Chain A
């Protein structure tokens, strides 16, 4: 690792290279793609949550001038296969409903027309006869044997179910002084990126090849799955993702069925077809995080030591289950015990289906759900023991000298100093002062509460984690999976300028900027002059099954690949320079874009002349050396191993830390919430660009605040979505976000080249529960139980009213 002091660009507030084009409207998104003879698609969607499709009559729609063709579920069934999914019996999930619909908004048919207006007019003319079926909306009811069954081939609504034990939980529960348990309900909420799903597909009957522009978050996994569903060789399907994606957050992984659907529409109609999802479609039917019911119990010693956890978590993936689910239930396996030394665990996980919209990862993928129960429960344990919630956390934290720390579930936490970061947050807020203020306020009938959450933020998913959905015996019969690789290529052109070819497919994270900073430091050049191309093109880019941007992987494995490739290039430059100067490479120093012999500054050669030689004077190179100046690295994280026979898995590869300390006051009359003070402290290892990090942390906090107070995909008991527009699905805006003190502690990761790790998801995992803890703390004297989100004023008002009635 280079000496951090020597870093000139990494760690600096270097301005984003991406901003100018975005600010002046010159970004390149899928909707900017215009192809010759391109037609437009609109999708007719189910108004029913569960119904048989008796008949689809497209006769009138086909007669509408400008309509070029209609694709129905029947066509989709004939032209493709169900998508594979990593559960024992996958449902028959096609890109379009076949015979039956299972959630409101499910695609039923696609119209291709000369314009989107005509396509939508044609939707009005399609007659679909439905026969409604009983619906199931509740997670626990869905798992009951008498629930209406969504998929006959499965026979129940349980997509995945596993029992797992780590350590000796039964023994720990016997040794405990105290057992504390709770039931926790996490809502269905999502990400609502500014850019919705977008696909432009073109089928070429001459070579039977699909070219598909889309805004998927990487080719990872789903390129293969779509090829399998379409029944074509993978190299006959070229995916191109333009330079810009308007936000991903996991939600964009759910575009893959539409990639297949629009590809089939193109094949059937013989047209190039564009489909841009509108906001209503997005809110109704794209993808959300999972809602989850958790029963969790802690076995605790009187001194506050948490010995063991026992939990049952039930996730809901809606009408079907699709990749990367059942990741929801397994993605946080390695960090299931959070920031604490809890060695014993009894887990039951279940993934069920209901008549709701399907799911995808949602920023912090399932860690919001996990920590909502863990961190609420830790507060409940503290309350029962009469301990301070900060004190109980210090009591159970992993110690700084224990890293790398292997958790009971197999996670290998790379680095951290949780005590230091947490103390810093408490100091910023002036925790003791607010505890006093709280006392005073309570005497005045005011509700002040302090909420804490201290969490471990996993980044760089190990592809293997999803196989924990299978038992060790089932896994032994299949092909193992493992890894988390990423690719980077760097080249120096004949005039000595540097270009980097990435395939990380950013959705706003600023990779172009950070890549330039890192390469500038490695090669001692100016970042302004470095160019970066970062588009996905499955034909023209080198990538692997894990390539893309998800699970905050750029700062860890992305930078590893980049630094590795850059150092290979640098090594080659040294070798050529040494050859030309007739010395050995270790005698050379690179300074001011010149190589010179140590202590002989006059014996030198400029980098650009070395580059020139590699391209223009090829026979002058050392014997056997490849000409030109290119270097690639496609590397994985070495800790990314398959689960062992005890279901232990390092489900991610780097683990950051994040904590929130939040002081709220609840208006006793209206139950509106006011924030007095908020400290958000982060340790994501080495900070690559503080300005970009600030933006990501602020976004993550805001997103978490949405889950805490505002956002929910709510359904009525008949299966209709109540929040299918931005009038009802409420994302917090700048007006709702209070002043927040954001701080950083840097504990470099030993597993990454620069010590950096993921950062953009952490607060999304900690804020929902920290706000809930603050509200619970404020209302503790009333005996109010807080175990659900979002906490709207109306909901809090009812909770207070009920608690008061109980007390009376």
Chain B
């Protein structure tokens, strides 16, 4: 289990990285936390000719608040985000989602940007990112652009990032006081890939009705996705058990799960309904109490 031969370079600035990507394009791969890339290379499932190690790019390691958003540097470790008081206070859904990523040792190395770019359909960070309707900032030879989740995730392990682009920043909203939130997951063991992961948000009106609901599912389609019909059922409503069940049903129908060794497609579809309902109940219980 040794990787095929590759060249290695450790640039110090984003400009250098872009310049290298522009020269080498598909031949090059970015090494951030390496928690997925290194196994892929050791299994020789991936054979990049050049590894661009961005671990020296300190400029991409930060968490800061800017108005009603949190900005997270692409290289920020998952564990750092998970433990950040700022993130816990202002966007607890993200902290909670990250706590389900593998194990502590993995989160110590894995990066938020790396997880998004890897685009595993059952990934917790991609699922939460969908629910939060976050943005990623990509920098390429032609400058920078912002990409939203709907455009970013294309299919299994594939994003709309160009080979010459680097993900430099992730932007997620600060959740208003009183927003209900929940991240839940079913997995074979603690830390395993999710059979299904569900992120829900309930933005509330002053009268206790739901202004906007967000429901994102991971692990039950080629990409994480938002269950829009289920969200619409809840919007503007005083949420009760009946609506929650209805939303669960609709979310389950929106899933497009596949069989694998660990769980049948049918089980995953059914779990989509159940986990969405459970997650909505938890989110609802958290509404109005502040974060």
Contacts and interface: CB of A to CB of B under 8 A. Distances in A.
Contacts of B2: 116-117, 120
Nearest to B263: A794
Interface stretch (A352-360, A570-578, A731-739): A731-739
B124 to A, nearest CB: 16
Interface residues of A, number: 28
Interface in A693-740: 710, 714, 722-723, 725, 727-728, 730, 732-733, 735-736
B264 A794 contact: yes
B1 interface: yes
A127 interface: no
Nearest to B192: A730
Contacts of B191: 733, 735
Contacts of A116: 2
B221 interface: no
A714 B260 CA distance: 11
A723 to B, nearest CB: 7
20 contacts: A116-B2, A120-B1, A121-B4, A124-B4, A124-B44, A280-B43, A669-B274, A670-B274, A722-B261, A723-B261, A727-B192, A728-B262, A733-B189, A735-B191, A736-B189, A736-B190, A793-B186, A793-B263, A793-B267, A798-B267
A798 B189 contact: no
Contacts of B264: 794, 798
Nearest to B267: A794
Interface string A787-808: 0000011100110000000000
Contacts of A732: 189
B194 to A, nearest CB: 13
A732 B190 CA distance: 9
Interface residues of B, number: 24
A121 B1 contact: no
A733 B102 CA distance: 13
A710 B189 CA distance: 8
Main DSSP-derived SS at the A contact region: loop
Contacts of A797: 267, 270
A278 B1 contact: yes
Interface of B: 1-2, 4-5, 43-44, 186, 188-193, 195, 261-264, 266-267, 270-271, 274-275
Interface string A162-199: 00000000000000000000000000000000000000
Main DSSP-derived SS at the B contact region: loop
A719 to B, nearest CB: 15
A278 B271 CA distance: 36
Contacts of A735: 189-191
Contacts of A714: 261
B188 A710 contact: yes
B188 A730 contact: yes
Contact of B1 (A280, A710, A733): A280
A388 interface: no
A427 interface: no
A752 B186 CA distance: 49
Contacts of B263: 792-794
Contacts of B192: 727, 730
Nearest to B278: A669
A116 B270 CA distance: 47
Interface in A751-808: 792-794, 797-798
Contacts of A730: 188-189, 192
A16 interface: no
B42 to A, nearest CB: 9
| A-B complex: 4 closest residue pairs judged by Cβ atoms | A735-B190, A794-B263, A278-B1, A794-B267
Contacts of A793: 186, 188, 263, 267
A773 B99 CA distance: 34
B190 A728 contact: no
B173 to A, nearest CB: 31
Interface string A438-471: 0000000000000000000000000000000000
Contacts of B190: 733, 735-736
A633 to B, nearest CB: 44
